[in-house]
């Protein structure tokens, strides 16, 4: 019995000693670095801290270890001491793709993608595990390691929107980030400059090197002496995953032989200090579109269109641009709502989405070829094309609606009258409905 109590006593003593050692190690492991300063609230701030042999400055990316022993990445905004003298860190956490994807249908994130949040957390600095590497897609493709993360979107109020990661202070201090010259002569254009839907860039095909991609880019560049010029308003086409097919409105600030410095008219800097500025290729031919509607040789930089949504005579198969997420997205009409609050149903080929828009947010789409506007030929067989080409197993099922005289359902589930200019007779309509019912539903 005495041996039993002795064993319990030794165990408790051992645990107490272990706890004290751990607590002491945690306190001693975190050391402030640099000169401190006081803000107007008399809070003492520090520019950096050291944890063991690791130096962690403000405006860096770190791993945070929560009490559940799970790690998540975050961006450090401040180091300070609270009223009790505790070492604290203020940070913006990132969410993983697995956390965001269930809340945003059709997101299709990269497996290493994380989403920055607008939330600020103030926690003990002891939770800082060590440095993290969070890159824009461009730098992720060029320099990523097994531990690298990629981020170009922000998760706000259960929605995802573009985010310029490279505009965060300290981003360029990461070892994996390339030089400014590489940013200016970037491989592909993203939103924003080197990073940032929602720096987004097109992912390189497996095994394709950066050198090969640069050679491809050189082959599709063309020269133009008269357009654009400094001070002109332009639209920039993004062909990157997440914002593929979106034209962003910009103004030309300066020029290099093959690049333009532009200021975005509808996208602001992360800190709210002004409009986002970016370098983009001066004259690059756009990639072919999947619907085979667009003109060959069209460029990724074009003037602002002089027409507006009131000029649109929309029919099924008409090429349109829709105003969505601070840009004009290329789309094709797939249905017309003729109810009291009419909406136009469109398909975005770049993102493979079916969406509804009010007529005021839809304009006719044209291509800029040979320094002139060219009409885009309608694709009257768009419905059958989508079913037979985009996802044959199983086939694409359009959002439910019926043709002229029928009753459909709008985005919010309310009934609405819809019409189509396809000219299908009743027999074709019945066959269409029967085929649609035989297929599984795949709709955004």
Tell me the pLDDT tens digit for each residue of 23-36.
Answer: 444 445 788 988 88
Q: Is it the case that residue 14 has pLDDT exceeding 80?
A: no
Task: Give the model's pLDDT for residue 173.
Answer: 82
pLDDT band at 64 (very low <50, low <70, confident <90, very high): very high
- Give the torsion sign (CA, 282, 284, 290, 293): positive
361: which strand partners?
A: none
**What per-residue confidence (pLDDT) applies to 70?**
82
Percent of the chain's residues with pLDDT above 70: 68
| pLDDT tier at 417, thresholds 50, 70, 90 | very low
- CA distances from residue 240 to 29, 48, 96, 192, 299 in whole angstroms, order as listed: 43, 36, 20, 11, 15
Distance CA 238, CA 248 (A): 8
Question: Sheet harboring 48-51: ordered strands across?
Answer: 30-33, 48-51, 54-57
Look over the chain and give the mean of its residue pLDDT values, rounded to a whole number.
74
234 vs 249: CA distance, rounded Å = 6
Q: Which two tokens stand for residue 108?
A: 């299709």
Helix (H, G, I), strand (E, B) or coil at 408: strand
Q: Given pLDDT bands bounded at 50, 70 and 90, which one contains residue 315?
A: confident
- The more confidently predicted of residues 91 and 51 is 91
At residue 433, what are phi and psi to the nearest 5 degrees?
Answer: -65, -40
Q: Considering only CA atoms, which of 97, 133, 93 is closest in space to residue 112?
A: 97
Sign, CA dihedral 434-436-437-438, equals positive
Between 23-37, 227-241, 245-259, 291-305, the lowest mean confidence (pLDDT) is in 23-37
Q: Convert the pLDDT of each residue in 172-210 to its tens digit.
A: 888 777 444 344 333 333 333 333 333 333 333 333 343
The DSSP 8-state label assigned to residue 388 in this structure reads I
Helix-strand-coil split of the chain, %, nearest 5 = 20, 35, 45
| pLDDT of 369 over the 50 cut | yes
Distance, CA of 437 to CA of 422 (rounded, Å): 20
Domains of the chain and any CATH numbers: 26-173 (2.30.30.490), 180-292+297-302 (no CATH), 306-438 (2.30.30.140)
A 10 A CB-CB count for 205 gives 8
User: Which helix (H) or strand (E) is 210 found in, with range?
Assistant: helix 210-219
Residue 309, pLDDT score = 65
> How far is CA 57 from each of CA 242, 268, 270, 406, 410, rounded to the nearest angstrom?
31, 26, 20, 63, 51
DSSP 8-state secondary structure symbol assigned to residue 186: -
- Tokens standing for 437? 């019912």
* pLDDT tens by residue, 93-145: 999 999 999 999 888 899 899 999 999 999 999 999 999 999 999 888 877 77
């Amino acid at each position: 019995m005495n041996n039993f109590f002795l064993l319990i006593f030794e165990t408790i003593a051992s645990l107490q000693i272990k706890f004290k050692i751990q607590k002491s190690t945690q306190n001693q492991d975190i050391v402030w670095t640099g000169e401190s300063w006081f803000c107007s609230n008399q809070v003492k701030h520090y520019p950096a801290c050291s944890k063991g042999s690791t130096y962690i400055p403000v405006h860096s990316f770190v791993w945070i270890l929560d009490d559940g022993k799970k790690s998540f990445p975050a961006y450090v905004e401040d180091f300070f001491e609270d009223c009790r003298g505790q070492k604290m860190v203020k940070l913006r956490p990132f969410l993983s793709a697995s956390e965001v994807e269930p809340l945003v249908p059709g997101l299709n994130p990269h497996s290493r993608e994380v989403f920055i949040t607008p939330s600020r957390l103030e926690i003990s600095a002891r939770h800082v595990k060590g440095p993290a590497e969070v890159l824009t897609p461009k730098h992720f493709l060029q320099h990523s390691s097994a531990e690298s993360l990629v981020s170009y979107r922000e998760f706000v109020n259960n929605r995802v929107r573009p985010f310029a990661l490279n505009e965060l202070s300290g981003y360029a201090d990461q070892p994996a980030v390339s030089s400014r010259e590489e940013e200016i002569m970037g491989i592909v254009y993203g939103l924003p400059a080197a990073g940032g839907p929602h720096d987004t860039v097109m992912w390189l095909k497996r095994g394709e090197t950066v050198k090969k991609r640069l050679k491809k880019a050189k082959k599709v560049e063309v020269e133009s002496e008269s357009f654009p010029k400094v001070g002109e308003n332009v639209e920039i086409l993004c062909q990157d995953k997440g914002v593929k097919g979106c034209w962003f409105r910009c103004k030309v600030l300066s020029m290099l032989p093959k690049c333009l410095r532009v200021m975005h008219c509808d996208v602001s800097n992360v800190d709210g200090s002004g409009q986002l500025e970016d370098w983009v290729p001066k004259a690059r031919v756009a990639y072919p579109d999947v619907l085979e509607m667009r003109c060959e040789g069209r460029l990724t930089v074009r003037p602002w269109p002089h027409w507006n949504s009131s000029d649109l005579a929309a029919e099924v198969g008409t090429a349109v641009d829709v105003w969505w997420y601070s840009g004009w997205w290329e789309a094709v009409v797939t249905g017309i709502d003729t109810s009291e609050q009419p909406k136009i149903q469109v398909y975005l080929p770049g993102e493979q989405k079916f969406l509804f828009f009010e007529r005021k947010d839809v304009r006719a789409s044209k291509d800029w070829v040979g320094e002139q506007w060219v009409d885009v030929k309608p694709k009257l067989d768009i419905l059958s094309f989508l079913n037979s080409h985009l996802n044959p197993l199983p086939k694409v099922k359009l959002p439910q609606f019926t043709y002229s005289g029928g009753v459909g359902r709008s985005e919010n589930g309310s009934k609405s009258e819809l019409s189509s200019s396809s000219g299908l007779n009743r027999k074709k309509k019945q066959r269409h409905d029967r085929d649609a019912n035989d297929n599984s539903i795949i709709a955004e």
